Structure 1
Amino acid sequence: MEDQKTRLLAGVVIPDTDVVRLAWEFAEARCEPYLFNHVVRSWLFATSIASIQNVEHDREVLAIGALLHDVTLNMSFRGPRRFEVEAADIAREFAIDAGLEPRRVQLVWDCVALNSTPSIGLYKEAEVSLCTAGICLDVVGLGYERVRAVEMKAITTAFPRLDLKKRMTKCFCHMAEAAPLTTYDNFLRDFGLRYVDGYSPPSSVDFVMNTPFES
């Protein structure tokens, strides 16, 4: 890719391009303040990790994927598919409209769709792996020690957490209540089991044992 203009954001060097600015505006218009701060922190953490590990990557793809990964995480979500997939399709349309070529569009989709599945996302292409790493750092502290304390403070001061744990849990529980079929095979199942009365997910064991085959 050709050289891109850059700027500093909370001490992190980020690309300063039209598509990144559009992704920022797109996310800001659709995310509550706590959630917008989360997606920005996730992007900055991912970018910091790339710098620390000297990982070559498409900086615009990473920016779009991180900034748009939670555009469907809200109290109005009803499915019909997992919120990550619904968001991935929105991000894909954004990337297409922004003029990205098909391979970059697919990377954006993967960044978003796999953002909460580190057992897969961390082993995908650099952009997907970095996006997953930045998001998981902000949500569950994965790799927290990799970011220097001074950088961590700068990022969390510029984009404070605003009671993320409580607010995110509320959204996760809403999804388990309003769209339970989207939660059975992913991390939302844990929130449903712990916090939602009457939540009763099916068992994968039963799916296997009840298939219409003799053996």
Structure 2
Amino acid sequence: MPSRLEGVSVPDSKIAREVTEFIRDTESDLLFNHSVRVYYWGAIAGNKQRIIFDRELLYTACMFHDLGLTEHYGGSQLRFEVDGANAAADFLRSHGIAPEQIELVWNAVALHTTPGIPEFMRPEIALVQAGAGMDVVGRGFDEFSPAEREAVIEAYPREAAFAEGIVDAFYDGMRHRPQTTFGTFNDDILAFKDPTFERIDICKAILSSRWKLDHRCGHDCDHAH
């Protein structure tokens, strides 16, 4: 791995090296390179904004953020983000990392597909989502110079068919647990790949809830109490 790219380097620590080895052995080339790029986009963005952040915790969160999409979780019924967050927490716990730091990494991984919240949380949490958004959909693309973009892509190639590949990776990691996509944009993936997929409609859920079906609870029930 290049020691330094555009003022950013992967932490040179025992934990970071073991994180790299673990994810390298577990994920496909597409997901591994994507995860490292997410770290570089997030760290470069953090430097540009003069944000103080823990590079080791950010790197760990970035590397684990899509682990839940891998074959190992083919039987899981949790959100894939939670699988990755739990794995990161277990890894850090086994290395004696403090609980508050473990919680930070857990939140960074678990919330990276939840828009509108991470950017108001701790820097590491915000930067994981920012880095993922840059790499997947180009969010903030023009905030990076051509030299920065080229340096990262040269070191960790973004395949010509990356867009199709990451959609497939999302689909393969979530198609066995479609109910977990509710409330995120992940249901867009299943709807795009599977014409039989039915989204959960929150309005239908409200209007057909037990409160609507149980006629004992309502205006009369309120007065009875």
TM-score normalised to structure 1 length: 0.90
CA contact (8 A) 1:176 1:199 kept: no
Distance in 2, matches of 1:177 and 1:45, equals 28
For residues 18 and 88 of structure 2, the distance between their equivalents in structure 1, rounded to whole angstroms, comes to 12
Partner of 1:4: none
1:44 maps to 40
Matched residue type, 2:8: V
Aligned to 2:138: 141
Give the C-alpha shift of residue 65 in structure 1.
Answer: 0.3
Match of 2:101 among 95, 101, 104: 104
Query: What stretches of structure 1 move > 4 A for 4+ residues in a row?
Result: none
The letter for the 2-side match of 1:36 is F
In the alignment, the residues of structure 1 paired with residue 34 and residue 4 of structure 2 have an alpha-carbon distance, to the nearest angstrom, of 14
Change (3 A) 1:108 1:176: closer
The residue that corresponds to 1:113 in the other structure is 110
Distance verdict in 2 for CA 1:98–1:188, change over 3 Å: same
CA distance in 1, matches of 2:5, 2:53: 20
Per-residue CA distance 1:168-202 (angstroms, 9 max, x = gap): 11122334532211222222211222220211122
Paired position in structure 1 for 2:127:
130
Encode CA deviations 1:87-126: one digit per residue, 9 max, x unaligned: 1000110111122101100011011101112321122111
Unaligned runs of 5+ in 2: 212-216, 219-225
CA distance in 2, matches of 1:31, 1:81: 19
> 158-167 or 89-98, which moves further after superposition?
158-167
Q: How many Å apart are 1:86 and its aligned residue? A: 0.8
The 3-state SS of whatever aligns with 1:122 is helix
CA contact (8 A) 2:6 2:44 kept: no
Q: Distance in 1 between matches of 2:192 and 2:30?
A: 23
- 2:153 and 2:35 map into 1 onto residues whose CA distance is 12
TM-score w.r.t. the length of structure 2 is 0.87
Q: 2:203, 2:121 → 1: CA distance?
A: 28
| Partner Cα separation in structure 2 for residue 197 and residue 42 of structure 1 | 31
Q: Percent identity?
A: 28
Gaps of 5+ in 1: 1-6
CA displacement at 1:74 relative to structure 2: 3.0
| Alpha-carbon distance between aligned partners in 1 of 2:3 and 2:143, rounded to the nearest angstrom | 20
Q: CA deviation at 1:69?
A: 0.7
Partner of 1:61: 57
| Alignment match of 1:11 (pick from 6, 9, 28) | 6
Out of 162, 170, 173, the position equivalent to 1:172 is 170
Structure 1 distance, partners of 2:182, 2:173, is 11
1:212 offset after TM fit, Å? 2.2
Distance 1:73 1:175, change over 3 A: closer
Is the CA contact (8 Å cut-off) linking 1:84 and 1:115 kept in structure 2? Answer: yes
